[in-house]
Structure 1
Amino acid sequence: GEAPIPPPTIPSIILENLPTFNLAFCFEERLRLLETSFNEYRQTNQFAHAVFAIPGIVHQYMDQQMKEAVREAVQIQTDQLQDSLQRENDEFLRNIDENMKNVLKGLVKTQVKEQVSHILPRVEEFVNATLEAEVLTRSLISVKLYIFKTQKY
Structure 2
Amino acid sequence: MASSLKPKKIYDVFLSFRGAELRLNFISHLYQALIQNGIHTFWDSEELKKGDQISMLMEAIKESCIAVIVFSQDYASSEWCLEEVAKIMECKEQRNLTVLPVFYKVDPKEVREGRESYRRALDKHESKFGKDSDKVKRWKEALFNAGSLSGWHLNDE
Query: So what's the TM-score if we normalise by structure 2?
Result: 0.13
Flag the structure with larger Rg.
Answer: 1
- Identify the structure with bigger relative contact order (alpha carbons < 8 Å, sequence gap 6+): 2
